[in-house]
Amino acid sequence: MQGLILLDRDGVLNRLVIDAEQGTIDSPLSPDQVVLLPGVPQALNSFSQAGYAICIISNQPAAAKGKTTRENLERTHDRVLELAQSAGGKIDASYICFHKSEDGCPCRKPRTGLLEEALRRYPDIQRSNTWVIGDGITDIQAGAALDLQTVYLGPKKSDAHRIFVESQCLPSLWEENLANFTNHLLNKEKIH
């Protein structure tokens, strides 16, 4: 294996949805709400072709919050996997925390349980070549706590940057989207 890619799911692989009742942004709660972000299947295929193992690490508390059922969340996740792997990329495993933050679960990001479980699966992969990729500060905090490479996906807004600075947890890289990071990583490898 070349390395390990640990991907948050919502906002990284698939679009977030709007909860019209609450007026908030949320994870998809049913398979019909799943829409992949542009370039995701191709990015995953590129990672696979380059010899990277790929895992999903995701907090999914909607059932614990009473918004939907666990079965619906699992069906929704299966739909994300189906669409994300449509260009031939292979997601090797998914590590999901179904608890809400008040439960104090050791797996829920920013805690490191999900990441540690993934790392145990690949004991021979160097941490220096393990990338945690997410669109939230908890993703970056979890990766940094284990001395892993971290990538924040999203526009470089001043508020997001300020929050990272204030938390003293800057990502290793800041990219607009997964396709941009894929190009960065794989082009960097060609140079070496």
The dihedral built from the CA positions of residue 159, 11, 25 and 64, taken in this order, carries a sign that is: negative
The rounded distance, in Å, linking the Cα atoms of 52 and 91 is 10
Q: Which pair of structure tokens corresponds to residue 122?
A: 């690949």
The rounded distance, in Å, linking the Cα atoms of 124 and 120 is 9
Give the helix/strand (H/E) hosting 159. Answer: helix 158-167
Q: Which of 8, 26, 78, 124 is catalytic?
A: 8
CB 128 within 8 A of CB 151: no
The rounded distance, in Å, linking the Cα atoms of 146 and 111 is 10
Cis peptide before 110 (omega within 30 of 0): yes
Contacts of 76 (CB under 8 A, 6+ apart): 27, 28, 29, 30, 31, 33, 34
Annotated catalytic, 8? yes
The rounded distance, in Å, linking the Cα atoms of 93 and 58 is 11
Which residues are identified as catalytic?
A: 8, 10
